Structure 1
Amino acid sequence: MAAMETGSAAWPGRLPRGSTVSVVVATAIVVADMVGVGVFTSLGFQVKDIPSGFAILLLWTVGGIVALCGVFSYSELGAMFPRSSGEYNFLSRAFHPAFGFLAGWVSATVGFAAPVALAAMAFGEYGKSVIPGAPPLALAVGAVWLVSIVQLSGVRHSSTFQLVSTILKVVLIVAFLIAGFVVGTPQPVSFAPHISDIGYVSGAPFAIGLVFVMYSFSGWNAATYIIGEMHTPQQNLPRALLAGTLIVLVLYVALNAVFLHTTPIDKLAGQLDVARIAGSAIFGEIGGRIVGAMICIGLVSSISAMMWIGPRVMMTMGEDIPALRLFARKSSQGAPVYAIVFQLAVASLMLFTRSFEAVLDFIQFALLFCSFFTVLGVIKLRITRPDLPRPYRAWGYPVTPVVFLLVTLFMMYYLVVDRPLQSFLGVLIMVSGLLIYAVFRKRDGAATPSSGHSKSPGNSPGRE
């Protein structure tokens, strides 16, 4: 792909070298990255304050709509600047390379490694119900290393593994849904709107519940981290993000409907393992084991997605910054070997030290901060650079980006109020990224994303 220089009006037509990821696989990555343990654990805390079937389903629907608002904005940026690495690429383009490095630093170091470790530990815990007596830590480490070996084998094998594991995940969830509605004992819960629902929907618990629902929807932007490996990303990225998010929206609403349809609300209220409780209500004594197996298989696809897309951030940063050039090296099969091994090492360290839970607490603010400014970048570029080619334009602009910005701003406010120390530590991580960027610039005279001197010139962003 010919380099798009600053101010260029020409649109490159050639695909990046090594573009092997189809829109179906990219969609699978989005679905896999989104569907983790959140949807299987959130309902118990929501029904404590919102004991209404309609209000609960509306809560999850609103969360999906907000995620779609983010999808539209990220799709516009991804089609404009088709380079792997997500926010690192977008913020470098829309604002400044230092801002992009800040986002990339968070993602490349702990932003993906911590969720990988969390998903792996959840795999270990649920695995105990499938293999009684198995040590959770051993199962967790085994899952991460197995998936990493697949990722090291190259993009083609990664694509096959991701597609098969995600399809299996979706099939199992659909089978669980069918069993719930067909076999489960119906509970006296109504999903039709009632006058009393106005109080639930307009109350503070609904707004706070939306914060945690949005965490369950996080991952809708997963395909933006592998744009450079996609076929015709200008068309396929928006399709993958939209299709993946819509699939997950339907699954989330249906899962919560089944939980409420098959299990008394008083048994769900305040409980963390609502999926196991619902599984026992549907299948009897073996329900917990069935649900555990379903979640374990689903978590493997989630770990796979994060072990694929996370190292692409470090890889792209290595293309731009000489001090990180090692991480840009790829195998003959297209795998960024050193970047994958780095994320594997960090995730393994977090598993052995159990530090991933603390890390997740204080990176939430940083991740929201970067997403907020990425979507804000769409508005900025529409105003300051209306001449830039836009193969895809955000649907519903400016309403959809504004909706996403308002909800994200509320989530950041909630974190600052509810977890001030963790939010402050998140800010410190971002500041450390800026300091490291300054050191790299001074020591190496690094070719930043503004210079267009990437090792992959066809995908190198120039500062706008």
Structure 2
Amino acid sequence: MNKKLKLWDATMLVMGSMIGSGIFIVSADMMRNLGSGYWLIVVWIITGIMTVAAALSYGELSAMFPKAGGQYTYITEIFGKRLGFLYGWGMFTVIQTGTIAAVAVAFGKFSAYLFPALNDAAPLFQSGEFKITWIQILGIAVILLLTYINTRGVESGKLLQNIFTGSKIVALLGLIFLGFILVKESFWSGNMSFGWDSFNNLVKDDKGNYLKLGWESISEATLFGGIAAAMVGSVFSSVAWENVTFVSGEIENPQKNVVKAMVLGTISVMLLYLLVNFVYLNALDRDSIAFAANDRVAVAASEKMFGSVGTIIMAVLVMISTFGCVNGIVLAGARVFQTMAKDGLFLKSAIENNKNGVPEKSLWMQGIWASLLALSGQYGDLLDMISFVIVLFYMITVFGVIYMRIKQPDAERSYKTWLYPVTPIIYLLIGTAFCVLLFIYKPNYTWPGLILILIGLPVYYIINSRKSESQ
């Protein structure tokens, strides 16, 4: 592969893939689960520690296996093809394509602030609960457009990524700066008055729906469930940084630049996320965060800062953010499926590069499946179910660092995990706590996703049996 991506490009890919629609939305649901500005910040800090610890750990593996495929390659090389296939299966069916669909449709939803006709238009098709809207069609158009641009060569995708990532970083910094200057009435002290020993949660009805009836005190034990549920949102907003490992084969000096990009990118994004949440807590009271219309807490904060024009300002920012995010994920994901195809675990046609040196057929397979998920409208439910599995695969990969130190202590490592073994152990401990708490308090977020991934096992054995017959 041509080494066309420099350290700056790789860092922009990390940051651009991470910053999508999540940071503008998830804090509303997090506040409903936590009921406290203190705990909202604590959960973001925990997520930040997890994310950076994982990036530092992945760096060692990226130095050992500096080729395309990233996390899929690490899992396959360390634990074998079967587990590697299950990760790749999850990537194609939901993790990568579902994220593309969700972020692209978010672009469409925020476009409706600029073009209200998108919201007012009747569905193109409706049968019972299933419907196809113009917002979905706009999301699909974004997916297909960015897929096409990325088939024109990595230079095209890189340029687009750098422009849009740079734009949204500058816009976020502006939002953070103005968030403490333009807000006339600060709610910071009120939001932070619900302290460490004051645990609150929203009252729910018999069906488990939140009610606007106020807050009730909860026990420390129940708080753990609230933290786990809140972390689903912060974790979803903080994933996809590993996308840079998928394109290792196209990065200059990948042994050094991949880890640098991951560490610089994740630290920068998590600091931005923390500061944006400071703005929310300064501009809005607890109920305004928890009950922001359609969970669009960023829009509510922007309206407080800029008045009615704030809605338009935030809509444009989110459109820039989501467009750049989809581009980064589209660019990176297809390289995983190409690597799987080379291992005989995906469609053979995904192996080929086109005249521009990129896996065009792999890109279109990814784009078409993501478009179908966007059309189905089920991507949101799928991503809720898969959050647990994403963290599980992160944990498996991070454990791979420890496993390889034991199995191959003398192997060449141009980069070694900082503060090993403390760093990977920190991630494994937090990740384990998160997964266990989800199992206990939110089983609907765990079992369905696990079953979806395990469906890949018979697919793996079918593929292998056919390979055996053809030999």
TM-score normalised by the chain length of structure 2: 0.85
Give RMSD over aligned pairs: 2.4
What SS does the aligned partner of 1:197 have? Answer: coil
The answer on whether the counterparts of 2:228 and 2:438 sit within 8 Å (CA) in structure 1 is no
1:216 to 1:402, Cα distance in 2 relative to 1, 3 A: same
| Alignment counterpart, residue 455 of structure 2, candidates 432, 446, 449 | 432
> What CA deviation, in whole Å up to 9, does each residue of 1:205-246 have, x standing for no partner?
345433432222112322111111111011001110011101
Q: Which residue is 2:113 aligned to?
A: 129
1:182 to 1:269, Cα distance in 2 relative to 1, 3 A: same
The answer on whether the counterparts of 2:388 and 2:449 sit within 8 Å (CA) in structure 1 is yes
Q: Which residue is 2:59 aligned to?
A: 75
Counterpart CA distance in 2 for 1:86 and 1:410 is 26
Partner AA of 1:91 in structure 2: I
Q: Which residue is 2:92 aligned to?
A: 108
Partner AA of 1:410 in structure 2: A
- 1:167-186 alignment runs, 5 A limit: 167-186=166-185
Counterpart CA distance in 1 for 2:442 and 2:229 is 14
The answer on whether the counterparts of 2:137 and 2:375 sit within 8 Å (CA) in structure 1 is no
What SS does the aligned partner of 1:111 have? Answer: helix
Deviation of 1:154 after TM superposition, in Å, equals 0.8
Counterpart CA distance in 1 for 2:445 and 2:38 is 34
Q: Which residue is 2:435 aligned to?
A: 412
The answer on whether the counterparts of 1:85 and 1:225 sit within 8 Å (CA) in structure 2 is yes
Partner AA of 2:262 in structure 1: L
1:214 and 2:240 aligned = no
Q: Which residue is 1:229 aligned to?
A: 250
Q: Which residue is 1:264 aligned to?
A: 285
1:195 to 1:126, Cα distance in 2 relative to 1, 3 A: closer
1:350 to 1:49, Cα distance in 2 relative to 1, 3 A: closer
Q: Which moved more, 1:207-216 or 1:74-83?
A: 207-216
1:192 to 1:273, Cα distance in 2 relative to 1, 3 A: closer
1:113 to 1:322, Cα distance in 2 relative to 1, 3 A: closer
Counterpart CA distance in 1 for 2:40 and 2:60 is 31
Structure 1, unaligned runs of 5 or more: 1-16, 448-464
| Alignment counterpart, residue 312 of structure 1, candidates 314, 331, 335 | 335
Deviation of 1:410 after TM superposition, in Å, equals 2.4
> What CA deviation, in whole Å up to 9, does each residue of 1:38-58 have, x standing for no partner?
221222233346555454333
Counterpart CA distance in 1 for 2:452 and 2:32 is 35
Q: Which residue is 2:358 aligned to?
A: 335
Partner AA of 2:353 in structure 1: K
Higher strand share: 2
Partner AA of 1:181 in structure 2: F
1:445 to 1:177, Cα distance in 2 relative to 1, 3 A: same
Partner AA of 1:61 in structure 2: I
Structure 2, unaligned runs of 5 or more: 119-133, 201-219
Give identity over the alignment, percent: 28
- 1:356-435 alignment runs, 5 A limit: 356-420=379-443, 423-435=446-458
> What CA deviation, in whole Å up to 9, does each residue of 1:248-302 have, x standing for no partner?
0111011011111122333223331111110110010111111111101100011
Deviation of 1:97 after TM superposition, in Å, equals 1.6
Deviation of 1:66 after TM superposition, in Å, equals 1.3
1:207 to 1:350, Cα distance in 2 relative to 1, 3 A: closer
Deviation of 1:362 after TM superposition, in Å, equals 3.0
Deviation of 1:329 after TM superposition, in Å, equals 0.6
Counterpart CA distance in 2 for 1:411 and 1:276 is 29
Counterpart CA distance in 2 for 1:54 and 1:269 is 14
